[in-house]
A and B are shown apart, each in its own frame.
Chain A
Amino acid sequence: MTEAVNTLLLLFMCVTALTIVRQHNLFAVVMLGSVFSLLSAGMFVLLDAVDVAFTEAAVGAGISTILMLGVLSLTNSRERITFSTPIFPIVLVMLAGSVLIFSALGMPEFGAADAPIHGHVADRYIEKSGAEVGLPNIVTSILASYRGFDTLGEVTVIFTAGIGVMVLLGLRRRTAQDGSVEELPLPGEGNMRHHSVLRVTAKLLIPFIMLFALYVQFHGDFGPGGGFQAGVIFAAAFILYGLVFGIKNAVAVVPEGVTRFLIAAGVLLYAGVGVASLLMGGNYLDYSVLAHEPTHGQHLGILLIEFGVGTTVAAVMITLFFSFARRTRKKT
Chain B
Amino acid sequence: MKAEAVAAHRGGMWAWLFQRITAILLIVCLAIHLTFTHLLNIGDLGYDNVANRLAHGGLTAVDIILLAAGIYHALNGLRMVLLDYWLTSRVRALAVTIFLWAVGIAFLVYGIWGLWPWIGY
Whether A and B are associated in the same complex: the answer reads no
Residues of A with Cβ closer than 8 Å to B? none
